[in-house]
Structure 1
Amino acid sequence: MTGGQTPAVQAPALHEQLQRLRVTVAGRALSGRRLRVLLAPALASEAVAAGTGCVVWYCLGPGAQGYRALASCRRSWRGWQVRWQLQVLDQAQLQQALVDDAQASARVFGRLCGGRLYA
């Protein structure tokens, strides 16, 4: 690292923070350890590299409940500050979010073959 630059926030550090998260979503207590990340797009956005920005992950929680996890990242003199927000997704919203990732979609919803759903 040169010129006093702070490295970009990395996916493993974000995942660790998500696992430590304890929030109330839709009236239910939820621990981040119960969330399984399904889709975590690359973090190489210009906004995050510049020191501010948002990262969106799609997760599956208890009871096959879908969530959108939004990490607001901001760089300060103390390093990276990350605030998480979780949004409940219904099945249609989660399917739409995973439409471009066939593997993640198949893990959650199975796959159709000859009109039958296989998990």
Structure 2
Amino acid sequence: MREVLDRIVNRNKLIERSFEYFWNCYDDYLTDDITKDESREYGLIDRSSVTPKLYGYSYCVTSTYEFDTIKVYLDIFRKNEEKRFAEYWIIYNIDGEVIDDFFVTE
């Protein structure tokens, strides 16, 4: 099963795309009227304020969707900190289309 999952992830470039989607989401977080004050409270001012790192990915069978999905997880660290500050995960269908994503601060 692991080999099949790895092939799907690699074929659809899910890791690389997840980082791209994260940066788009993060940029929105910094500038959106609803979240920009919160981001400043956390000391987040630009892309150099955080470092995203791949946590992993998984094949998911859930009751939320009527189809199987793949989730890619990123841990987000503030600059010069070792403790995870936030997490980002993105859900793809098996064909590599984005279904949903989440950026959650702790």
- TM-score, normalised to structure 2's length? 0.49
Q: Choose between structure 1 and 2 for higher RCO, CA contacts under 8 A separated by at least 6 residues.
A: 2
**Structure with greater helix share of residues:** 2
Larger radius of gyration, structure 1 or 2? Answer: 1
**Structure with greater strand share of residues:** 1
- TM-score, normalised to structure 1's length? 0.45
